[in-house]
A and B are shown apart, each in its own frame.
Chain A
Amino acid sequence: MALLGASGSGKSSLLNLLAGLDSPSAGAVIVEGQSLSGLSREQLAKYRRHTVGMVFQSFNLIPSMSVLENVELPLRFAEVERTKRSAMAVNALEKVGLSGRLKHRPIELSGGEQQRVALARALINQPHILLADEPTGNLDSRTGTEVMELIRRLNESLKMTVVLVTHERDLAEKYAGRLIFLADGKVVADQANSTRATVGVQP
């Protein structure tokens, strides 16, 4: 599923609402049958930890940590045993096609590689939904395509819902099963190519 719209149309805000990072001033966000507005801050943190994974346009890796530590970070908050973490992180990195350079800092990697690390971090807690905010925005077209192909493979192999925010219509049409167009904070079109609807939005 792709959220499309021009800058300022509210697609990123919608994504933040879905991620439980923001709360709506009116209306409700319902994910997997549960209203996020009814959750406490603690429960929202848990929701972000286990139900959704996020990738960003600017990767948002922590520069002072190595690749492996960045991927392990969500496991710390999920209180996963120390002994298991490293193996889980290596496993997640293998899924996104990165197996070397684990001790490197993010800054030493290319943009495409950094986005893969971010993807591995988003996947490590096996979320049901992947929220991707312009994941190709900072990448050249070739690496952008590589990342999108990777996301599609993950979508198929892990049966994971992917919500893609983008302003590139070509990209959305190529990969998304359902297209939602936003303008000025409102849904102006919903071209459903899939009957699957896990997310209900009532702006």
Chain B
Amino acid sequence: MKLYDSIELAARNLRESVLRNSLTTLGISVGVASLVAMLSLGIGLQQLASRRLQRSGLFDSIVVTSRRNLRSFDREQEQSGPAPAESPDLNEAARLKIANVAGVVEAYPDLRFITEVRFDEKPHLTMVAGLPLSSKDGDSFEGMQGKFFSSADAHEVILQKSFAAELLGKPSRGAQEINVAEVARPSLGKQIVMRYSERESTGQDASSFSVISHEMPLTIVGVTDLDPDSMRGSARARVFVPQQLIESMRPMQAYDMRASGGVTSDQPIYGNIVARVSGAGKVDAVEQAIKTLGFNTFSILDATKSMRRFFAILDLFLGIFGSLALTVASIGIINTLVMAILERRREIGIMKAVGASDGDVRGLFFAEAGAMGLLGGVCGTILGWIIGRVINFGTNVYLKRQGFPPEHIWSVPVWLVAGALGFSFVVSLVSGLYPASRAARLDPVQALRYE
């Protein structure tokens, strides 16, 4: 029998006992729906987490530290490689070397210091950090008001929005509640005066230096929407100045005191250097290359490995719970079809008497199982999608009540839809296996004997 005929006969049979078959199909729908809802929730949470991390801008960055400062990010790195005393300094030469590693787009020292900033004659204590011009292209500055630095050494600053609010004397609130545009409007274009301490070599001894205090007026050009507590390396700072400007200032660094004992030249020693890599995929290779130069490295990819493993396990468990409902549904299919065989004994006998082969009968039952599976899959996916939306909506209502911004905790990618349809279809066919072969083996003489 041709496939089309099997399907047509199957559809006719399904219509014959509408109630029973639609209940069975409903069972499959609920199974698929629970699977889709569970997995879309898992995927949504995972996307939410990685979106947060991506926004941190560190996915393509490697933080390089000297082995000399004895504060590497993991113990394994501390114990391997050259001894700290023999390892190279993290100075300008090291920076050039790192910049020349294949795959590195740029390498810049992470310069930051805590200082006093005056605005409207009122002093404010804060942390200032350098920011390379390339940061402009990252998504870290989405939602920024004003514009980015006009040049790499312009006397300009970008403020973090909560600091802008502080400068304007607004009552301190959670960072999430501050409207960037609101605090940007009165502060953009205004001047602030930044005090800083220059580290100046005395010329007598490499390990001694004098500290000279300076003041520098800067223009506010931008206010960022950046969360100061997010994971971005320089985000803990609340005032950003162009990278080259901060380098030319040679500001006193917190680690200058600590490193002074080992300083062998007049050259500034950096606490850490950030290497930006052309793509997240190259981070591993570049990290290895930098390690062979004798430095310690850290990248966010290291940190996300355990997170990705966590989500894989979460998805697996959610999938298993979702599949349980589908298992129950597949037993429903088996039950329905076995009942149908009992009911249609005579019909099967007739079909065999007029020339249906075992395969034809089997195909017919398969087509019925498959049709229920496919229909159940479609309804279930739609139902699961709706359930996911409802959960998402409910969560956001809760989040709003708790004072958090809405989040997208639910995601239904195309592969999940296709996978759910395919899975329910295959599960139905597998469920149809036993009834179909039982129907095919039915003895036509027995089936036709009794009136």
Identify the A interface with B (CB < 8 A).
16, 19, 21-22, 41-42, 45-46, 48-50, 54, 56, 58, 60-62, 64-65, 73-74, 76-79, 82, 121-122, 125
Tell me, in angstroms, the Cα distance from A79 to B357 when the chains sit together: 12
Nearest CB of A to B186, in Å = 78
B354 CB within 8 Å of chain A: yes
Contact A45 B352 (CB under 8 A): yes
User: Do residues A21 and B354 form an inter-chain contact, with CB atoms below 8 A?
Assistant: no
Minimum CB–CB distance from A25 to chain B (whole Å) comes to: 13
Is there contact, CB below 8 Å, between A42 and B357? Answer: yes
Contact B355 A46, beta carbon cutoff 8 Å = yes
A44 to chain B minimum Cβ distance, whole angstroms, is 8
Give Cα A4–Cα B16 distance, bound, in whole angstroms.
40
Q: Which 10 A-B pairs have the closest CB atoms?
A: A49-B355, A45-B357, A74-B354, A77-B355, A76-B5, A48-B355, A21-B444, A77-B356, A60-B350, A22-B445
Inter-subunit contact A60/B9 (CB<8 Å): no
A-B contact count (CB 8 A): 67
Name 9 extra pairs, CB < 8 A, besides A64-B12, A74-B354.
A19-B353, A41-B358, A48-B353, A48-B355, A60-B346, A60-B350, A60-B448, A76-B2, A125-B355
Instruction: Please tell me if the beta carbons of B355 and A74 are within 8 angstroms of each other in the complex.
Output: yes
By the criterion CB–CB under 8 Å, are B445 and A46 in contact? no
Contact between chains at B353 and A77 (CB < 8 Å): no
Query: Does B359 have its Cβ within 8 Å of any Cβ on chain A?
Result: yes
Complexed CA–CA distance, A54 and B354 (Å): 7
Q: Chain A: which residue is nearest B5 at the CB level?
A: A76
What distance in Å separates the Cβ of B354 from its nearest Cβ neighbour in chain A? 4
Residues of A within 8 A of B2 (CB): 76, 79
Q: Given A21-B445, A22-B445, A56-B448, do A49 and B354 touch, yes or no (CB 8 Å)?
A: yes
Q: Is the CB of A79 within 8 A of B1?
A: yes
| CB <8 Å contact, B351 and A73 | yes
In the complex, which residues of chain B have a beta carbon less than 8 angstroms from the beta carbon of A64?
Answer: 12-13, 16
Chain B residue nearest to A55 (CB atoms) is B353
Output the least CB separation between A119 and chain B (Å).
12
| Cross-chain contact of A77 among B13, B346, B357 (Cβ < 8 A) | B357
Residue contacts A-B, CB under 8 angstroms, 21 given: A19-B353, A21-B353, A41-B357, A41-B358, A42-B358, A48-B352, A49-B354, A49-B355, A60-B349, A60-B448, A61-B350, A62-B347, A62-B351, A64-B12, A64-B13, A64-B16, A73-B354, A74-B355, A76-B5, A121-B354, A122-B354
B211-223 contact mask (Cβ, 8 Å, vs A): 1 or 0:
0000000000000
Q: Does B156 contact A (CB under 8 A)?
A: no
